[in-house]
Structure 1
């Protein structure tokens, strides 16, 4: 998976570049995080919504929890960016709201906002 690096104030964010689901399991999420840590000494990833399968956004599948737990367990931070307005699930909206009030997981509309959140976290 292609990543570009943004560095500011001694912090590094890896921005994942893809337009199809690449993070499809907890294992693939862990591999991506380890790749960023090994290649760039970076544990902050900005990921486009398109890198995740639709099952991620159906909380009852458990996929979101599995993937995000890998980031937490391995001291990573992730910001998923894209348009989430099409999702009508109240539980998903609540999940996004709660995530955005934390320090490790963010759901934001743009890549720039994702980088900003990760730099400030």
Structure 2
């Protein structure tokens, strides 16, 4: 069960580590609906909840999911270590770097880093 928390005055929906794997838009829309119902502005998904296809950019899964969140004006955070995925893909490393420069999607290593990002 996802829980709503306020981090630096920002409502954040935190998804648990256990739960349905997020394969694509259908699961993303379920999260978006839950976040909207609870009044969240950001949704935090542990890296382990994302299907492997998310990290292979050629599948377009990541782009489709990010676009859904953008359409609903919600931010998406991937929480955890993604180095296993980025080590073998310069395109994914570039994607992570670009996302972290923006205000739509972030990749953060832990809750402390998330708190720092939400301060500003």
TM-score higher than 0.5 here?
yes
Q: How many residues align?
A: 118
Change (3 A) 1:11 1:77: same
Structure 2: distance between partners of 1:20 and 1:7? 22
TM-score (norm 1): 0.87
Conservation of the 8 A alpha-carbon contact between 1:80 and 1:114: no
> How far has the Cα of 1:102 moved from its partner?
0.3
Change (3 A) 1:111 1:36: same
Q: CA RMSD in A?
A: 1.7
Which residue pairs with 1:22 in the alignment? 21
Conservation of the 8 A alpha-carbon contact between 2:3 and 2:15: yes
Pairs within 5 Å for 1:21-100: 22-38=21-37, 40-87=38-85, 88-100=88-100
Unaligned runs of 5+ in 2: none
TM-score (norm 2): 0.88
SS at match of 1:75: coil
Conservation of the 8 A alpha-carbon contact between 1:46 and 1:111: no
Query: Deviating runs (4+, > 4 A) in structure 1?
Result: none
Conservation of the 8 A alpha-carbon contact between 2:7 and 2:115: no
